């Protein structure tokens, strides 16, 4: 018997405000057909007024803790994956900790963009396997809508992103049979900073002159994200295929033995191409991008939540997950739910 990480609770929070492709067409030069053809997205949810990432995370976390059937004070660590923090500092994990009404346990943010959830999962898994912490609250939450360029200049990025949050509670579990018991088999993380400027926000930082941001930079719009779509698409397909194969090879598992695939939801066409190249049947791939868009670090746990609620992800199933994002970063995880 070995100490392994087991998922014992999950929660989700999606803002109530729905933004359809036709709604966006009223703001920028686009259309429902154009967006669906290129990304598969039909609608997304955006926050209203003062809602923040930690607000969404609080709702998701409370549901996850309730489902885990533990007291919130039994949480030994909070790991919060996000690239849309409530404030410049401190990190969202501390704000969530305060809103949960707990204190003392470590709380840290993981800022790895669309791969943030798997990077965070790898940390949680290691802390649990080493016997350092027993119960870890793992959160992915994003409010991207407030930072998008809602003009024609930002069209290619703006149509892709939505807001949302999801949370998991992982606990230490004695694994008796890896063919049956819930556990994280392995995670695999990579990055190549040579491509950092292919998808980035060039402003709002300490790398531009002598100020965090200037009026001229705001007028220029460099505080909004920009993307080289073709380069991102090509690298995403290649790297996600590679890192999925890495996880399978590491664990000596055939791709046909995997019951369920949870991919990051950046673009439906990316996921379809990955499935085609690896010979994965469509019924094994669960996509949510149609109704949520790209919710960055929240995407994979949101998909997990929906798949469980729809009865498509069931206890005992072998799951492979992969993501690719800005950095460039890419990662995979293999686990039994």
Q: In the chain, what are the domain boundaries?
A: 2-175, 183-336
Predicted model pTM: 0.96
> CA 79 to CA 215: how far, in whole Å?
35
Do 298 and 148 touch, CB atoms closer than 8 A? no
For 43-84, give the secondary structure using H, E and C: EEECCCCCCCHHHHHHHHHHHHHHHHCCCHHHCCEEEEECCC
Q: Which fold has domain 2-175?
A: Peroxisomal Thiolase; Chain A, domain 1 (3.40.47)
- In tens digits, what is the pLDDT along the chain, a chain of 337 residues? 678 999 999 999 999 999 999 999 999 999 999 999 999 999 999 999 889 999 999 999 999 999 999 999 999 999 999 999 999 999 999 999 999 999 999 999 999 999 999 999 999 999 999 999 999 999 999 999 999 999 999 999 999 999 999 999 999 998 878 787 889 999 999 999 999 999 999 988 888 888 888 888 888 888 999 999 999 999 999 999 999 999 999 999 999 999 999 999 999 999 999 999 999 999 999 999 999 999 999 999 999 999 999 999 999 999 999 999 999 999 999 999 9
How many helices (H) and strands (E) are present in the chain, helices listed first?
11, 14
Q: Cβ neighbours of residue 176 under 8 Å, at least 6 residues apart?
A: 1
Do 84 and 147 touch, CB atoms closer than 8 A? yes
Q: Which two tokens stand for residue 69?
A: 């059937």
CATH top class, domain 183-336:
alpha beta
- Long-range Cβ contact pairs of 25-32 (< 8 A, separation 24 or more): 27/150, 28/150, 28/151, 28/152, 28/154, 28/155, 28/158, 28/159, 29/152, 29/155, 30/155, 30/159
Do 263 and 240 touch, CB atoms closer than 8 A? yes
> CA 285 to CA 261: how far, in whole Å?
5
Q: Is 285 helix (H, G, I), strand (E, B) or coil?
A: strand
- Same fold across 2-175 and 183-336: yes
For the annotated catalytic residues, the residue numbers are 114, 264, 294
121 closest CA partner among 182, 170, 83, 66: 170
């Amino acid at each position: 018997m070995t100490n392994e990480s087991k998922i014992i609770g999950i929660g989700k929070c999606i803002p109530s405000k729905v933004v359809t492709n036709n709604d966006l067409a009223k703001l920028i030069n686009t259309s429902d057909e154009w967006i669906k053809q290129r990304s598969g997205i039909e609608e997304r949810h955006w926050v209203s007024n003062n809602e923040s990432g930690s607000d969404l995370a609080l709702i998701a976390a409370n549901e996850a803790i309730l489902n885990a059937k533990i007291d919130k004070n039994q949480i030994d660590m909070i790991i919060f994956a996000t690239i849309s923090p409530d404030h410049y500092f401190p990190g969202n994990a501390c704000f969530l900790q305060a809103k949960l009404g707990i204190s003392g346990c470590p709380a840290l943010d993981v800022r790895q963009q669309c791969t943030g959830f798997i990077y965070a999962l790898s940390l949680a898994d290691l802390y649990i396997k080493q016997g350092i912490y027993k119960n870890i609250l793992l959160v992915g939450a994003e409010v991207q809508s407030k930072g998008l360029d809602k003009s024609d200049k930002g069209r290619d990025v703006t149509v892709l992103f939505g807001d949302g949050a999801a949370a998991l509670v992982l606990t230490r579990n004695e694994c008796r049979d890896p063919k049956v018991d819930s556990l994280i088999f392995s995670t695999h993380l990579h990055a190549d900073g040579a491509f950092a400027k292919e998808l980035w926000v060039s402003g709002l930082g300490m790398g531009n002159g002598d100020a965090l941001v200037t009026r001229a930079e705001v007028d220029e719009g460099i505080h909004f994200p920009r993307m080289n779509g073709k380069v991102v698409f090509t690298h995403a397909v290649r790297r996600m295929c590679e890192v999925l194969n890495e996880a399978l090879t590491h664990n000596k598992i055939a791709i046909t033995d995997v019951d369920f695939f949870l991919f990051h939801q950046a673009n439906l066409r990316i996921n379809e191409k990955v499935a085609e190249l690896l010979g994965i049947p469509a019924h094994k791939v669960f996509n949510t991008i149609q109704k949520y868009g790209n919710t960055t670090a929240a995407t994979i746990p949101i998909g997990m939540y929906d798949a469980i609620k729809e009865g498509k992800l069931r206890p005992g199933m072998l799951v492979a997950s992969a993501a690719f994002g800005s950095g460039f970063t890419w990662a995979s995880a293999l686990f039994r739910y």
